[in-house]
Structure 1
């Protein structure tokens, strides 16, 4: 019998989930549509009036989608290991649907975000504070903003040629980041109004294309479609890998590490009950971050009503750096939108023929081009 016949029930349920999950692109909905105006009004108020963000309307029925997920007859899957995996997957997607459904409803969205992404521990906050104690490095020319999104686009087009996959690159004025990947549409989105430094372009190339887009395309090669859409709680691993690629490519700067640390501080402030203006004041007045960066980080954390995801970049980097330094094989973690938690499960799925080896790899992981001893010292001493 073929693998499809041996696991017919698994393939049927996997195909059903594949059809349902296409609507669940959280970043499509959680990014405000009025960022520029909200920022202008906030600055005009002397940083006192919390911004009023607007969001894209849902184009699906959350209740109906939830019902369809939980109607999958998982009891038909004979293999306990695979059945438990798909139970985890459905519960995880259910949480993301609830996040999307409650965007803009402060308390409801925040608690749903907590359930899906968690919140920093005391140790995570201390790691962030440890990073922020270091004196800023002297700014080199490659750190100075000078490229428009049109000019940056040409660099991204050139970088992607080293890989064997193709994708769209578009510009948008509705981003809270310099760039992001939309998995479902295989699109790299650049912030239209952003001015990029050479270091940021190099960083985003290996981060967004070399990991996020790469795992999108690796995820498409498997018999099971779930690798493309994501195993549960994959954000920490995927962002950790992406920042690790910044490190191994030699692009990771102290400035960037501090940015990740500020995100942890901001998410912690959210957990302590701070509103937008209070988080901004913490970053701007206490930590002396410039007002534009303080706004962006506060926006990332308070969008939707309280989005806790951003602390996972630093915790993910800490875990993946240790994994990398112990000479562990990163390949299973590049098979798609997967989590380190399911590392052995991925190997088992590969062994029985339900998953394949990676096709696309990031050459930056094959060597360590970091020459900044301070970065090594910091990463070696995170707890």
Structure 2
């Protein structure tokens, strides 16, 4: 590392290295996805949507108390640069919160309150934005691009072909134990595809741009820095990361009204969770009141109620709006691709690059080069969101 100003690089390097060794095993998505989704789905449907699922979760494989203690024992006072020291304080509190989330998965309200601390919950404005989107007619459901037709093995070939435009390698794994149809595990650079899903052309286009074009890009960029926090994540990075990922769908002309409504339903579901709705009541709200297909309604409800109440899903829509505004203001998107970073820390990222403690993004999201969006209705919605 290059020494600049009053940064004690030796102390900073040691703190960063210590945190890196501690948080490698903290991948919330690895623990919060139920292992018995399909079995409980059958039981729930058989009960006529009345008996809440009883989900099982992966075993936690680390000593939670020791991890907390080790995080808070870091000698941050040796970092003389106040801006950097404050960033690392925020990071330690962030990781401690994630550990609390993991250790309370499946405990009901305890997990929900920890999730609230980490991710928040929708505001009245967020719910109004979601309902605004739901007023729009979505695309023709019979359009061939929405027809399910690719097995998980066939879908894998599309991801591999799409990834040729990027100069990095990652693993692909298939699983029937995830609530999403695809996701990136940051810590082990793995794309996980859902074996229970049959993929449409639109989903392939959305997921390649979303998961590879952003999530894997920021994973790979994060590994290139002297400081490992770019890889493990800045505080509250989920909103920025999901906003960037959905924005990639928009820039590649794959963001549809249907997809926006899916994100809006997630906001409605998280809001229902905040109001105290049970799993079955949230499901019935989506399926009966909003007339959502029961499979779609079930998986949205699983995403929100897993662990005991996981509020993260409303951030896709709020993140998209923030990134859309950031782009419209002519700001540099590549700054936000430097790793698992947060829009609100843009100034700190620039400062770290200037001090030689970080590097500009090497891999750039392919769709960000040119705005290919032709959907004027989507543009109108994004401009109109409050």
Q: Within 2, Cα distance between the matches of 1:174 and 1:347?
A: 39
Structure 2 counterpart of 1:308, from 268, 291, 311: 311
Match of 1:45 in 2: 47
- Deviations 1:77-101 (Å, cap 9, x if unpaired)? 1111111110000000000000000
Q: Within 2, Cα distance between the matches of 1:3 and 1:364?
A: 36
Do structure 1's residue 283 and structure 2's residue 286 form an aligned pair?
A: yes
**What is the CA distance between 1:331 and its match in structure 2?**
1.0
Match of 1:121 in 2: 123
**What is the CA distance between 1:2 and its match in structure 2?**
4.4
Q: 4+ runs of 1 displaced by more than 6 Å? A: none
Q: Within 2, Cα distance between the matches of 1:307 and 1:265?
A: 13
CA contact (8 A) 2:184 2:216 kept: yes
Match of 1:345 in 2: 348
The correspondence of residues 23-172 of structure 1 with structure 2, limited to 5 A, is: 23-139=25-141, 140-172=143-175
Q: Within 1, Cα distance between the matches of 2:189 and 2:73?
A: 29
Structure-2-length-normalised TM-score: 0.98
Match of 2:3 in 1: 3
User: Secondary structure of 2:24's match?
Assistant: helix
Match of 2:195 in 1: 192
Q: Within 2, Cα distance between the matches of 1:302 and 1:271?
A: 11
Q: Within 1, Cα distance between the matches of 2:332 and 2:171?
A: 30
**What is the CA distance between 1:3 and its match in structure 2?**
3.2
- Deviations 1:206-226 (Å, cap 9, x if unpaired)? 100000000000001111111
- Deviations 1:109-142 (Å, cap 9, x if unpaired)? 0000000000000000000000001112213211
CA contact (8 A) 2:2 2:355 kept: no
Structure-1-length-normalised TM-score: 0.99
Q: Within 2, Cα distance between the matches of 1:299 and 1:290?
A: 14
Q: Within 2, Cα distance between the matches of 1:287 and 1:264?
A: 13
Aligned residues: 383
User: Secondary structure of 1:267's match?
Assistant: helix
Q: Within 1, Cα distance between the matches of 2:36 and 2:366?
A: 38
**What is the CA distance between 1:326 and its match in structure 2?**
1.6
The correspondence of residues 215-230 of structure 1 with structure 2, limited to 5 A, is: 215-230=218-233
- Deviations 1:170-208 (Å, cap 9, x if unpaired)? 100001011000000000000011000011001100100
Do structure 1's residue 294 and structure 2's residue 297 form an aligned pair?
A: yes
**What is the CA distance between 1:6 and its match in structure 2?**
4.7
Q: Within 2, Cα distance between the matches of 1:362 and 1:76?
A: 37
- Deviations 1:329-360 (Å, cap 9, x if unpaired)? 10110000000010000000000000001100
User: Secondary structure of 2:188's match?
Assistant: coil
* Residue segments in structure 2 that go unaligned for 5+ positions in a row: none
Structure 1 counterpart of 2:182, from 158, 167, 179: 179
- Deviations 1:142-180 (Å, cap 9, x if unpaired)? 111110101000000111111000000110000101100
Q: Within 2, Cα distance between the matches of 1:365 and 1:27?
A: 27
Do structure 1's residue 373 and structure 2's residue 376 form an aligned pair?
A: yes
* Residue segments in structure 1 that go unaligned for 5+ positions in a row: none
